[in-house]
Structure 1
Amino acid sequence: MLAVLLSLLLAQGPAPEPPRVGEIAYEGADAESVRMLVALQPGQPLDTRDVRDAVRALHASARFSRVAAYAEAMGDGRIRIVFVLTTIEKLTSVTFPGHSALAEGILLQTANLQVNAEFQPEQLGTAVEVIRAAYFRIGYRHAQVTPVRKAAPGGVALELRIEEGPATRISQVRFEGDLGLDRDQLSAAFRLDPGDVLNLVALDEAVRRLRERYRRAGRLRARVD
């Protein structure tokens, strides 16, 4: 908008003097707390370079995640400059109400949300999906994760509310094909039984034990899928 306004003014031909800054307003932050960061002053001729410098200075303060500048024509021919500021919010805490099957430390590591860093709402979708995937892998295939954002001193407190749901359990274990070993030997190596939770980590380990059992029996070409 600033560039368009200046283009219109220039298109009108040479003026006795460039438009002057009439007012400077700040939206999203207390004016007294940021005015010292901006060299632009009311009364001086409007120069887009000064506005860009002010935007850079506000960004450089590391207090705002977004800084935008707009120009508005005033009735007396002067220009009002409006800085729209989005304050950086820090993530002060992350908790996981309702969790049981996975420890809080594992959930925090899985979510990959950095406490005391800038809160970025766009990361929540990924955090929810990776936590659900972690639950799926340990046998909780219907787990639900609901993010709840709460205001807290100094930033945002985030709750990722967990509804684990029922665990998926093994209903039957069968060994099929050209076994080469008796079923008792295979069961002893597999170590998963009907009624156990279908934990994919444990399943991978059980398959590894079967392959090792065949290797020790000298059946090096045996394949376990």
Structure 2
Amino acid sequence: MKQTHIGMILAASLLSLVLVVVAIAPAAGALTTDTITLDDPANETVEVDLDFSGSTSATVALEDSDGSVVTSETLSGASGDTLTASLSAGYATPGNYTLNVTATDETVVSLNETRLTDTETVEVTDAGNETLAVEAGFEGSENATATVSIENESGSEILTDSIQYVADGGNETTIGAEYNGSDLVTGNLTVSITTTPATAYTGGWATIADDTGQGAGAIIPEGGPSIPEAVGLVALIGLLGLFGLRSNRGD
């Protein structure tokens, strides 16, 4: 009987010790959960900056609508570190994804910034007569900035600019910018459109247009009459028809 009593005391003590360990052990907690839009996953990258005030690990993940992890990266940081997770989901389908950031000890990690970069390649054949049109799509209740960076074939940056978005009640907005003349060089150019924060991004586009006007309006078939000439021809035919009708009535 005495041994049974001692055993019960030991079991109770062990259970208490386990509960204490569980209580003081750090548990993974969510730092942030946001919705990210991927419009062209093969050409898009999501970056997340995390600030560490102590030693722990944090995982940045993109999850689909079923909660399955599409891609993730784990960072291990110490006090004073600012580390960046870079996520690319080239095989994913366009749509909305959940950006989920968790940490073993969330009390020593904070979210610094999120960015989404769309990278496009355009070909410039006549820099003096072509215009590069860049458009950035925004959405949400938070102001955002899209940084436009253009690099030449050797990877040197030839231009950087920014497009500002002022939150419009959550409505989707597309804002464009154009670059031509001395802004461009001949060759294949890499255009990066980086939107901060990433949650404001809905899409990015870069296209080349001809400044000669052929691409801006109606294209007249080669060898055919111009519009004024065509109008004059129709008028002449009408007058001849009217003259012929009057002549027949007079006979």
TM-score (norm 2): 0.24
Q: Which has the higher helix share?
A: 1
Structure ranking higher on relative contact order (CA contacts 8 Å, 6+ apart): 2
TM-score (norm 1): 0.26
